[in-house]
């Protein structure tokens, strides 16, 4: 038996640009309790070193698609977060004036995240989610509704949202670090865009997890129907992430 | 089953435009391979004489030094010529100089006009191209090209909006451009001055519509916030 020679058919590449669009899935690295800090990631050299004259190859189609949907989801998520805090603040501050500075602090951080992702979307020509108006209404309703249920419920909402979001960012950071590692193994320069994005995502994730801790300190777990509320909000977040990744 | 559907990665076919993450660290690669490029550009040079036909494509292949049979590489036939023209002219917009300091609206108008003028050489045959684009099997890629053109123009003028207006702006520009393109095929005025006026009117109309929608939604927002705050000041716990 002759071994079948491997056909050299450059024409196939041209006719079939991609038969196997396998996207890197975000394996979410879950964070279930506030005290569990995210597991340590490897810190590749590229994150510290500055650019050197090395070869560099363009991101693959799958990588671009991943970044496209990841940044779109993050933008939608931060939009929702700012709106939740905006809607929660008046009723909460009215009944608990001492929480004014905390609410303002969390809102200001979310607003800065939202600006960051808005700029990234415009810069990298990424389409914002088509569900923009829907998320606006849904997030405002969620924030106002939980604030009306009282301080504990509002904090339980914050806790549930930030748990999901923290895990979500963590998954993205892992995927990006995997790319960085692969690029380094191949001896390529990683490029400022990706390293900067990893740094931004890590910073934002840590700030979201701070909100989670603050919410738990404010008796989030004492809310009436805590388990139910937590389940509902978290599955709502998961659904919203799923939709925003796609449309 | 449900699990499999839920875990399927986001498909690029669900989105309206397939343009994805734009990196600044790599040059944009051409979507055409060098042989395709050679055949299609030679074919396009034959369009004023032969029209958007298989003959033009075959002549282009011969001119580029390939055998006639190589046009089988283009299953879309003459539409490949139309598509090539659309893509290359869209990508050529990036090299156009935009005056600094002018308003975004005038920059949009300038780029849309540049793109329209790129059709001037084959304007007598452009109705054939429009007919090909309207063929059911080519409608999706024609619409996609139109949306990519609007996206390109808005990116080049530095539009930063990333909310719902991202969609409305692109839709409005696409509509204005497509109607102007159709108008241009019947325009006999010197240097297409009537098309320019037509485009300006369409852009102005869509701007007026956009402004009134924006002011209406802003007004509604202000009114409802006022209502809520008024009720709060009356002691209602909301």
Which has the higher per-residue pLDDT, B42 or B9?
A: B42
Query: pLDDT digits over B185-214, tens only?
Result: 888 888 899 999 999 999 999 989 888 988
For residue B70, is it within any domain?
no
What does the buried/exposed string (b/e) look like for B89-99 if buried means 16 or more CB atoms within 10 Å of the residue's CB? bbeebeeeebe
- Which residues on chain A are in Cβ contact (under 8 Å) with B9? 21-23, 25, 65
> Looking at the domain assignment, is residue B145 inside a domain?
yes
pLDDT of residue A111: 93
pLDDT bucket at A45, cuts 50 / 70 / 90: low
> Is the four-CA dihedral B208, B209, B213, B216 of positive or negative sign?
positive
Q: Answer yes or no: is B231 within a domain.
A: yes
Nearest alpha carbon to residue B17 among B203, B166, B176, B172: B166
Query: How distant is the Cα of B5 from the closest Cα of chain A, in angstroms?
Result: 11
- Facing B21 at nearest CB: one of A94, A124, A128: A124
How many other CB atoms are found less than 10 A from the CB of residue B26?
13
pLDDT confidence band for B10 (50 / 70 / 90): low
pLDDT tens, residue by residue, B118-156: 888 888 888 889 999 998 998 988 999 999 999 999 998
Query: How many CB pairs below 8 Å do chains A and B form together?
Result: 93
pLDDT on residue A47: 56
* Closest-CA residue of chain B to A51: B25
Cβ B200 vs Cβ A110: under 8 Å: no
In a domain, B154, yes or no: yes
Residue B222 in domain: yes
Give the number of domains in chain B: 1
> Is B63 inside a domain boundary?
no
Q: Which domain holds residue B211?
A: 98-238
pLDDT for residue B73: 83
What CATH number has the domain bearing residue B118? 1.10.357
CA-to-CA separations, B191 to B48, B86, B122, B123, B174, in angstroms, rounded? 18, 21, 14, 12, 22
- Of A195, A196, A171, nearest to A183 by C-alpha is A195
- The fold of the A59-246 domain, in CATH, is Ferritin (1.20.1260)
Is A211 annotated among the ligand-binding residues? yes
CA distance A240 to chain B (A): 13
What average pLDDT does the structure give for chain B? 85
For A14, the closest of B17, B33, B166 (CB atoms) is B33
The one-character DSSP state at A187 is T
Q: Please report, for chain A, the start and end positions of each structural domain, with discontinuous segments joined by +.
A: 59-246
Are the C-beta atoms of A61 and A21 separated by less than 8 Å? yes
Report the C-alpha gap between B46 and B30 in whole angstroms.
22
Shortest CB distance from B23 goes to which of A15, A128, A193? A193
Alpha-helical regions (H) of chain B: 2-7, 34-45, 47-50, 54-63, 79-92, 104-117, 126-133, 139-156, 165-184, 193-233
Q: Which has the closest alpha carbon to B66: B54, B57, B79, B75?
A: B57
A12 interfaces chain B, CB cutoff of 8 Å: no
The pLDDT score that the predictor gives to residue A12 is 40
Task: Give the pLDDT of residue A28.
Answer: 54
């Amino acid at each position: 038996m002759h071994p079948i020679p491997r056909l050299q058919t450059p024409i196939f590449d041209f006719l079939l640009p991609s038969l196997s669009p396998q996207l890197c899935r975000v394996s979410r690295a879950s964070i279930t309790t506030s005290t569990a800090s995210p597991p340590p990631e490897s810190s590749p050299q590229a994150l510290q070193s500055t650019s050197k004259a090395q070869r560099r190859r363009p991101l693959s189609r799958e990588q671009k698609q991943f970044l496209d949907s990841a940044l779109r989801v993050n933008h939608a998520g931060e939009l929702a977060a700012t709106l939740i805090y905006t809607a929660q603040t008046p009723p909460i501050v009215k009944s608990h004036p001492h929480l004014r500075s905390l609410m303002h602090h969390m809102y200001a951080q979310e607003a800065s995240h939202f600006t960051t992702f808005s700029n990234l979307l415009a810069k990298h020509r990424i389409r914002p989610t088509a569900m923009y108006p829907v998320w606006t209404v849904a997030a405002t309703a969620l924030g106002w509704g939980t604030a009306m249920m009282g301080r504990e419920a509002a904090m339980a909402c914050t806790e549930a949202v930030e748990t999901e979001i923290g895990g979500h960012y963590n998954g993205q950071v892992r995927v990006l670090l995997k790319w960085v590692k692969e690029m380094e193994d191949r001896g390529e320069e990683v490029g400022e865009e990706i390293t900067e994005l990893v740094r931004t995502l890590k910073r934002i994730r840590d700030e979201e997890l701070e909100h989670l801790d603050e919410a738990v300190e404010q008796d989030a777990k004492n809310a009436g129907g805590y388990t139910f509320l937590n389940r509902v909000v978290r599955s709502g977040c998961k659904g919203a992430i799923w939709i925003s990744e796609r449309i | 089953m449900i699990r499999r559907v839920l875990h399927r990665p986001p498909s690029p076919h669900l989105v309206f435009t397939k343009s994805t993450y734009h990196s600044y660290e790599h040059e944009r690669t051409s979507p055409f391979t060098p042989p395709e490029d050679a055949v299609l550009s030679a074919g396009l040079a034959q369009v004023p004489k032969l029209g958007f036909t298989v003959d033009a494509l075959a002549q282009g292949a011969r001119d580029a030094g390939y055998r006639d049979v190589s046009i089988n590489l283009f299953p879309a036939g003459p539409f490949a010529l139309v598509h090539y023209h659309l893509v290359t002219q869209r990508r050529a917009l990036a090299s156009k100089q935009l005056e600094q300091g002018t308003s975004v609206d005038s920059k949009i108008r300038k780029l849309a006009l540049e793109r329209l003028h790129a059709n001037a050489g084959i304007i007598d045959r452009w109705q054939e191209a429009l007919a090909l684009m309207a063929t059911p099997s080519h409608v999706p890629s024609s619409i996609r090209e139109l949306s990519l053109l609007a996206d390109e123009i808005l990116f080049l003028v530095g539009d930063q909006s990333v909310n719902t207006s991202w969609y409305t702006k692109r839709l409005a520009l696409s509509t204005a451009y497509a109607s102007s393109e159709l108008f241009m095929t019947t325009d006999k005025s010197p240097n297409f001055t009537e098309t320019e006026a037509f485009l300006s009117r369409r852009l102005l109309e869509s701007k007026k519509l956009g402004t009134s929608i924006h002011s209406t939604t802003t007004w509604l927002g202000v009114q409802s916030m006022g209502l809520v705050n008024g009720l709060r000041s009356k002691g209602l716990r909301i």
